[in-house]
């Protein structure tokens, strides 16, 4: 007797889109670690740069999108985009069902858990998935990268080469950034 499988063929499964939101000013190797690992779990990962007029970033949104696209060009299921407003509204707009977040330390968890609960009150359709940062990136943040570069330290081991080059240009040319 022939058994009928209840497994849905891959091509018929719905595409699961995850958003990895953040400022990415700049994108670090820690961010890339989360993106690469997330790309193995979800069909599409959208690295979503929040346009926040209340912040004074080192790089424009367009520069950050370019940095992300260059750093992730080896991952065909990863794309970069930007948005304004609530992350859950953007997620609903593009049909994403997952918010991808990286956790470094306990204080990250407290903040991220609060945000996940808040997002759940705004959209019950969206789940937050936390990935623990790989050990070698547990200390790393965009702020740390900028601080080191500001004081002429090497950041080559913290960001991709193209990003390091752009950061060095910002801090070595006073007319670009003071």
Q: What is the mean pLDDT of the chain?
A: 90
For the ranges 2-6, 50-54, 151-155, the one whose mean pLDDT is highest: 151-155
Instruction: For the chain, give every domain's residue range.
Output: 14-138
Determine the pLDDT at residue 85: 92
The yes-or-no answer on residue 51 being catalytic is no
Q: 21 pairs with which residues across the strands?
A: 48
Catalytic residue, chosen from 11, 40, 55, 73, is 55
Tell me which CATH code domain 14-138 carries: 3.40.50.620
Q: What percent of the chain has pLDDT over 70?
A: 90
At a CB cut-off of 8 Å and minimum separation 6, what does 42 contact? 16, 17, 18, 77, 98, 100
Residue 6: pLDDT band (50, 70, 90) is low
CB-CB contact of 145 with 26 (8 Å): yes
Catalytic residue, chosen from 39, 97, 142, 146, is 142
Which has the higher per-residue pLDDT, 154 or 172? 154
The yes-or-no answer on residue 146 being catalytic is no
Whole-number Å distance between alpha carbons of 115 and 58: 25
Whole-number Å distance between alpha carbons of 118 and 171: 37
Q: What percent of the chain has pLDDT over 90?
A: 80
């Amino acid at each position: 007797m022939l058994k009928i499988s209840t497994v849905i063929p891959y091509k018929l499964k719905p595409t699961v889109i995850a958003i990895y939101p953040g400022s990415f000013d700049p994108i670090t190797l820690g961010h890339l670690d989360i993106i690469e690992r997330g790309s193995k779990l979800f069909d599409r990962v959208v690295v979503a740069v929040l346009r926040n007029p209340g912040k004074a970033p080192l790089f424009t949104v367009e520069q950050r999108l370019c940095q992300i696209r260059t750093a992730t060009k080896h991952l065909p299921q990863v794309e970069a985009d930007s948005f304004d407003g609530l992350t859950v509204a953007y997620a609903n707009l593009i049909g994403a069902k997952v918010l991808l977040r990286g956790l470094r330390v306990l204080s990250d968890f407290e903040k991220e858990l609060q945000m996940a609960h808040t997002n759940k009150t705004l959209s019950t359709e969206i789940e937050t998935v936390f990935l623990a940062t790989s050990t070698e990136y547990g200390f790393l943040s965009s702020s740390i990268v900028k601080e080191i570069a500001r004081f002429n330290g090497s950041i080559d081991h913290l960001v991709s080469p193209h990003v390091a080059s752009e950061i060095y240009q910002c801090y070595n040319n006073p007319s670009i950034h003071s």
